Structure 1
Amino acid sequence: MNRNVLCATIVALLSLPVSGAVAASAEDVPLDDVVVTATRTSVTVDDTLASVNVITRDDIERLQAQSVAELLRGLPGVSISANGGAGKQTSLFLRGTESDHVLFLVDGIKIGSATSGGAALQDIPVDQIERIELVRGPRSSLYGSEAIGGVIQIFTRRGRQPFAPEFSVGYGTDNTRKVTAGVALNGDRGWLSANGAYNDTDGFNACYGKPSPGGAGCFTYEPDDDPYRNVSASLRGGFKFSDAVEADASFLRAEGHNYYDGSFVNESKYVQQVAGGSLKIRASDSINLNLTLGRADDKSDSYANGVYMSRFNTQRDNASLQGDFALAQSQLVSVGVDHQNDDVDSDTAYVEDSRVVNGVFAQYQGRFGANHVDLSARRDDNSQYGNHTTGGAAWGYDFTPDLRFTASYGTAFKAPTFNELYYPGYGNANLQPEDSRSVEIGLDGRAGGVRWGVHAYETRVDDLIAFDASTFAPGNVDKARLRGLEGTFGFDVAEWKVDGSVTALDPKNDSPAFDGKILPRRARATARVDVDRRFGDFAFGATGYAAGKRWDDLSNTRRLGGYATLDLRAEYAFAPSWIVQAKVENVADRDYETAAWYAQPGRTYFVTLRYRGG
């Protein structure tokens, strides 16, 4: 699709009688059980045909989580690998796919590095998050590249009360210090939320590798602590001009300094920034439109013992126009266009340092008695590799109001990164996108106060990009077959709230060189249970997490053992607006690794004093 076609499509859509579309850039319905990421429209968790999880602000504070990885660890299909403690490189493998096969959004804006291909999950501060929506399964037919394993969308803070100031101070193991402050203002027609946070830790020795020759791990030996600092701010607001027109805008910035162990570089200064806004127009009860604009910046300057080495900055501009048309009761058609422009600013000379991606998509959601149908298709035009078409279909059947069967099929793809295409002396400009095909069946129900679900899936990925020994460059030489079974449950008993999940995964590398080997750093089995109870002004909780063995390398010669951890937490509301919280993680002080030679935190403590007005 060229620029003229894109502009003509936008003009055609704008000429329609339109109204405020419910799209992935805003939470128009302030209910915990409504998600927008799965379909780019507001759908309740019970009605969506996708496998989803929602983490709210209340969950974040109840769990006393210190990172996004901590929140997501152990959810169905999620496996985490980290190169050390706070702020160190963190990879998330969703349903066994690669870490860059997960699309990350912040308030509807696509984030991530155009050079390396992944999102800096470790640098997104939980203090600026209102909620997280995790959607498992392919979503390229709605979002384009990267959504092979699924989509994770983060929404920044949004206060709900007329006037709500808050702040917190915390201190914990490794001289970890945290200070947060924020305020929310809400009127009849407008709202505003502003928040800031400072997080600093001395850390611990991230890697105990060996220097070359004969090196391992980080290929160096630096037995010192590896500090991490993150300073963040967010601003989010909106105004309702009339019943038919509403606008909102958001801004998130996190910057800091990270020290780690490495043979070439061992520290970095980083910036993660996302800014965007949307305009929603409602012309009638059946026609809606949403226009979203945004920019995401991923910046990193690398150093070796304080000496500047390199700069890798990427900028991603996003624009999206979506129209939603209600054809009849429970019949919704959505059409839209997306525009993305990636630019690279680096002192490394890339042959190409920009690209443009235009996409057109359509979706139908229909409900016919006990039957639910979702159909979607998308066409992407990338200035680097040309056109790519994806599609998805899902069907659900309600045996009873409390028992549903679902089945789905979807295709997805991942575009090559600038490093894979153009990095000097390494890139291959002839690379094609990685392709996938996924099938899934599921059964979800409620009985006797117990919520449960079982989902089985298989994903086949072709043309995986890997180093090709015959050309000494990246090539579309690998393929994978990923099978999994996920189970979830939740219930309340004797005032205890219990939620849990279990995942069994078989992620095989089907490429000729590694036929049947397990893909590295994915745990074959994981389980998580959260238990909480409140006793008046007191609250207590525990999280148990277990992960089976995994391999650290493609040839399956370096084995990482399974492990289990237990976290305990408590809080006491000693005054109407004051809470003191305490948490002990890894109570048994278990030693374990999720990446070979990289240590994980032992037993840690953290205490927080929190004030919340309003």
Structure 2
Amino acid sequence: MIHRLFQTAFLCFLVLLTAPGTSPALAHDHDHSGHSGQSAHRLEEVTVTAKRLESFIQDNPQQVEVMGRDEIRERNFLDTDTAVDAMPGVSVEPSGTGLGARISIRGSGGTGRILILVNGRPAGGSQYGSAVIGDIPVSMIERIEVYKPPVPVWLGVGASSGAINIVLAPDGKADGKTRPSARFRVLGGSYGTAEATASKSMSSDNQRLQLSATGKHTDGKRGNNDRDSANISAQWEMQTPDARAYDINGRYYYSAHGNPGRDYNPTPDAEQTFQKASADFRAQGMTGDTGSYKAKLFADGVRLEDRSQTGLESTLETLGIGVKGETDWCEDTGLWSVRTGASARHETVDHTLSGDHDRRQIGLHGQFDRRLGAFSVSAGARGDWASDFDPAPGGNLGISFKPGAGRIIKAGVGYTVNIPTFGQLYQPSHGSIDQVRGNPDLDEERVISSSLGFIQKAGETGGISVTLFREDVKDLIAYQEFADTIKRPVNIADAWRCGVEINVKWQPFEQTEMNFNYIRQESENEANGEELTYTPAQKFTATVKQTLKKTDTRLEIDMEAVSERFSDLENSREKRMAGYLSVDAKIAQPLKWGGHPFELFVQVRNLFDNDFEIHHGYPNDGLRAYAGFNVAL
């Protein structure tokens, strides 16, 4: 199944690359004065998009954080996981097997539902609460958007604890700047880590194409934790003179790795092979003078082969195909806007143990935004139908107020229904039957989220924000460990989580930037009065970036402090995870090599080699160091 999907995507790219008039134009990365009108139009379209996003962040009641391509490249993130983890209030922890990651926003821990999107559509491929985003090459990311709850309805269903949208675009002349057409990265480091990445960009005045490939090997610190992985990606984009745009993206990811298991329940002979393929087509353009539309067609396929400690072999295959369309209308002066949309998706899963299952989903949404002087009001509603569950309503209401220059007050409330995932219902954890099983009797979660925030801007980049937040959940889905040491999901009648998030951005000197984020929260499982699993009472992160003027050397220190957490519903001392402090460091030195930009870098993780667990029974790998170079041609 996954091979057919990948072959189809590859044939689509082959047709596009060999189409008359496409390949020759993309063979050069130079300006063409004869088509300066199209270049200017493309630059104008990108500028309008950036200004509109900035306006949405400032004026809309929703709370959004954005990181663009320039910052991603400047900070030299080695993969998409670490780039997302660097966003304020976001935590990305690798899963026990290293396949996928557990992502939380505002300390949502192991029970919050985070919606992961790629170009505005569901990413697909998630396993047991872990989001598989390792197939996304960091070199193709245009920006990362983090929407903190309550989340606007147009993003999609299943975002009760927040949403992350990873926007992809070729690294060409999107903004009128001439960039290098090829980039390479080679690195090596602790535990036999070796990695090589190459990307090639080609562009004309109205088209862009980028190809990317990565190969990686690591032995891992623990036994049976070795991994070989690779991914290839391609993205093509075309802009027409009448303001229409089309893009196609294809990605393939492969991983063969051991599964060490928990340190108290090791599985030294368990192995897995994971494959994921994704394909996307997107069209967008203008409708009249003040309207726009977007249409997306997408597909994801996963094949997971698992050999357990007992020698039992099983196979998991999933396929998801979907379509999503949106229209956006706004008044000439921007006083109001209306956004409507619909989506449909069909998912199938076939597992050796749990059998065949499928789900068909249809969703409708509408949102109205209105400016009233210093106030902005937003109201949205959505309805979702799934073939295996009852219809699910959702909605959000928000208001923002600007009492003075650089000051914004934002308040919002939202309601959503989370349908159990296939992983929670049927699939084992990342395919590992030694650790986790599903529960086909789960009910939907019903979630009310609310927030009240105050923002004070200071200059162009500085400022402080203080946000109170709360989340109340009926029939919360959480994992309980049984006597056979296997975890299974169960419903908790009532649970809640509330707290405060403080975010500070400060630039004390021209070449120095500091970011601080602090979360203080309480949570409770009302069935037993204990804290929710993997939900820390406190978390503090700090980033300090310094550029040395004379040499352009870039330095970065990242610190993370997390209070104790509990991995079981009973909050037993045996399953307690102690709090920890971890410090990472980066240094990058730009140089010139044959007239081309060349950069040497060293990155150190867990600088002081502190012992802590990323999940219960899965210790952190301790001190690791990586060194390498980036070159642009």
Q: Could you say which residue in structure 1 is the equivalent of 2:384?
A: 380
**Alpha-carbon distance, 1:157 to partner:** 5.0
Q: Percent identity?
A: 22
Q: Could you say which residue in structure 2 is the equivalent of 1:581?
A: 601
Q: Find out whether 1:434 has 2:445 as its counterpart.
A: yes
User: In 2, are the aligned partners of 1:80 and 1:90 still within 8 Å (CA)?
Assistant: yes
Distance 1:519 1:317, change over 3 A: same
Q: Which range is displaced more, 66-75 or 321-330?
A: 66-75
Q: Could you say which residue in structure 2 is the equivalent of 1:527?
A: 540
Partners of 2:516 and 2:181 lie apart in 1 by 35
Q: Could you say which residue in structure 1 is the equivalent of 2:342?
A: 337
Partners of 1:488 and 1:431 lie apart in 2 by 37
Q: What runs of 5+ residues in structure 1 fail to find an aligned partner?
A: 1-26, 37-41, 206-223
Partners of 1:89 and 1:284 lie apart in 2 by 43
Q: What code does the residue aligned with 1:447 have?
A: A
Superposed CA deviations along residues 427-486 of structure 1, whole A, max 9, x for unmatched, are: 66564320100110001112366311111111101112357999x996544321111211
User: In 2, are the aligned partners of 1:140 and 1:411 still within 8 Å (CA)?
Assistant: no
User: In 1, are the aligned partners of 2:520 and 2:537 still within 8 Å (CA)?
Assistant: yes
**Alpha-carbon distance, 1:129 to partner:** 3.5
TM, length-normalised to structure 1: 0.83
**Number of aligned residue pairs:** 559
1:127-276 equivalence runs, <5 A:
127-139=139-151, 141-161=153-173, 164-205=181-222, 224-262=223-261, 266-276=270-280
User: In 1, are the aligned partners of 2:516 and 2:543 still within 8 Å (CA)?
Assistant: no
User: In 1, are the aligned partners of 2:126 and 2:132 still within 8 Å (CA)?
Assistant: no
Q: Find out whether 1:568 has 2:573 as its counterpart.
A: no
User: In 1, are the aligned partners of 2:112 and 2:161 still within 8 Å (CA)?
Assistant: no
**Alpha-carbon distance, 1:203 to partner:** 1.0
**Alpha-carbon distance, 1:97 to partner:** 5.6
**Alpha-carbon distance, 1:169 to partner:** 0.8
Higher relative contact order (CA 8 A, sep 6+): 1
Q: Could you say which residue in structure 1 is the equivalent of 2:353?
A: 348
**Alpha-carbon distance, 1:121 to partner:** 4.5
Residue 518 of structure 1 aligns to a residue whose secondary structure is coil
Q: What runs of 5+ residues in structure 2 fail to find an aligned partner?
A: 1-43, 429-435
User: In 1, are the aligned partners of 2:207 and 2:237 still within 8 Å (CA)?
Assistant: yes
Partners of 1:179 and 1:474 lie apart in 2 by 39
Partners of 1:564 and 1:429 lie apart in 2 by 39
User: In 2, are the aligned partners of 1:317 and 1:341 still within 8 Å (CA)?
Assistant: yes
Q: Could you say which residue in structure 1 is the equivalent of 2:629?
A: 609
**Alpha-carbon distance, 1:142 to partner:** 2.4
Distance 1:574 1:92, change over 3 A: same
- RMSD over aligned CA atoms reads 3.0
Partners of 2:480 and 2:68 lie apart in 1 by 44
Q: Find out whether 1:492 has 2:507 as its counterpart.
A: yes
Q: Find out whether 1:119 has 2:131 as its counterpart.
A: yes
Q: What code does the residue aligned with 1:175 have?
A: G
Q: Could you say which residue in structure 2 is the equivalent of 1:405?
A: 409
Equivalent of 2:83 in 71, 78, 86:
71
Q: Could you say which residue in structure 2 is the equivalent of 1:6?
A: none
Distance 1:461 1:505, change over 3 A: farther
Distance 1:89 1:597, change over 3 A: farther
**Alpha-carbon distance, 1:555 to partner:** 1.2
Partners of 2:481 and 2:193 lie apart in 1 by 45
TM, length-normalised to structure 2: 0.81
Superposed CA deviations along residues 181-202 of structure 1, whole A, max 9, x for unmatched, are: 1111222111111111112111
Residue 72 of structure 2 aligns to a residue whose secondary structure is helix
Distance 1:247 1:70, change over 3 A: closer
Equivalent of 2:519 in 482, 504, 509:
504
User: In 1, are the aligned partners of 2:525 and 2:532 still within 8 Å (CA)?
Assistant: no
Q: What code does the residue aligned with 2:148 have?
A: R
Partners of 2:516 and 2:471 lie apart in 1 by 21
Distance 1:146 1:245, change over 3 A: same
Q: Could you say which residue in structure 1 is the equivalent of 2:297?
A: 293
Residue 317 of structure 1 aligns to a residue whose secondary structure is strand
1:404-483 equivalence runs, <5 A:
404-421=408-425, 431-447=442-458, 450-466=462-478, 476-483=491-498
**Alpha-carbon distance, 1:89 to partner:** 5.3
Distance 1:432 1:560, change over 3 A: closer
Partners of 2:449 and 2:136 lie apart in 1 by 29
Superposed CA deviations along residues 207-262 of structure 1, whole A, max 9, x for unmatched, are: xxxxxxxxxxxxxxxxx251122211121111122324221111122111121213
Superposed CA deviations along residues 247-292 of structure 1, whole A, max 9, x for unmatched, are: 1111122111121213677221112322111111323221211111
Superposed CA deviations along residues 546-576 of structure 1, whole A, max 9, x for unmatched, are: 1122122211123222221222211112204
Partners of 1:140 and 1:463 lie apart in 2 by 23
Distance 1:466 1:283, change over 3 A: closer
